[in-house]
Amino acid sequence: MNIEISGDIEETRCPEIIKILSLGNRTGRLSLNNGGVAGSIFFDDGKVIHASCGPIKGVKAIYEMAAWTSGEYTFFVDDTPDLTTIDMPVDEILSEAADRTRQMDRITSLIPSSGVVYTLDPDINEKEITLKFIQWRVLAHTDGTKSIADIAQTLGLTVFDTMKVFYTLLKMGIIKEVPQGGPENKKMALHLPQTPFIETLVKALTNAIGPIAPLIIAETAQDTDINLTTDDVEGLASLIEMLSSKIPEETMSLKFLDTMTDWLKLEGRNR
């Protein structure tokens, strides 16, 4: 296998390498790695025909690698792929890749790498929270122990897309970086009653939306004037219904609703 060029991504980013190989009408495989993830981009007479980056295939793989700021690259002459996943002009690919690069430069000005670990800000209960579905999904795994890269892998997202979400959450003041000494042990300043109902409720909601669950319970109860220590089954059922509507994923919402409804029925029989 003939190696023609190689170098550092820090000096020559992925979009620049693609442009060079395309203008040179090259045929072969561009191999890239950033230390943790490896990827390949295949060329046929200067045209990009296939790309892969971990489990990601096609043009999305190129966009993921375009955001890398460090690592190494090597071009293998005449190495061909087993399949074709891209039929798109190189200029269009480079235009989108350049936009991704600019976005990543902005993100890395605040988040240095995908290895950073975040946790919920202890003062989050002072902030009004309105999040999109993807932000809820990411926040559900932000527990002070998993890195951005870990969460991306768990959710099946690209590192680039996951870092974009973390950038937004960080700007909103919902999360903060965990010190390098270890996980953040500080808990949010919430004072939920210590009752069997609340313990079950917190556990079920945490399974659905992650560590932000206690805050959501406290805010919902406060907004609706529901007494969390009440024995009124109808009032508790109303709270459960409202909380289920705040769970963005339908499957998890139904599971939460079933769990808590079963708990209420069991408690009713035991009275």
Q: What is the pLDDT of residues 190-237, one digit of tens each?
A: 568 888 888 899 889 888 887 778 878 887 887 778 888 887 888 888
Please tell me which residue, 213 or 60, carries the higher pLDDT value: 60
Has residue 183 got a pLDDT over 70? no
- Position 233 scores a pLDDT of 81
Range of the domain at 245: 196-270
Contact between 87 and 42 under an 8 Å Cβ cutoff? The reply is no
pLDDT classification of 189: cutoffs 50, 70, 90 = very low
Q: Are 6 and 102 members of one domain?
A: yes
Mean pLDDT of the chain: 85
Class of residue 87 by CB neighbours under 10 A (exposed 0-12, middle 13-18, buried 19+): exposed
- Position 2 scores a pLDDT of 67
- Position 127 scores a pLDDT of 54
Q: Are 16 and 74 members of one domain?
A: yes
Q: Are 55 and 103 members of one domain?
A: yes
**Least confident residue range of 62-66, 163-167, 234-238:** 234-238
User: Does a structural domain hold residue 184?
Assistant: no
Q: Are 141 and 206 members of one domain?
A: no
Q: Are 157 and 209 members of one domain?
A: no
Measured distance CA(239)–CA(229) in Å, rounded: 12
* Number of domain units in the chain: 3
Q: Are 101 and 14 members of one domain?
A: yes
Q: Structure pTM?
A: 0.65
pLDDT classification of 85: cutoffs 50, 70, 90 = very high
pLDDT classification of 242: cutoffs 50, 70, 90 = confident
Closest residue by Cα to residue 73 from 65, 63, 84: 65
Q: Are 60 and 147 members of one domain?
A: no
Q: Are 128 and 104 members of one domain?
A: no
Both structure tokens of 185:
């042990």
Q: What is the mean pLDDT of residues 246-255?
A: 84
Has residue 67 got a pLDDT over 80? yes
Has residue 26 got a pLDDT over 90? yes
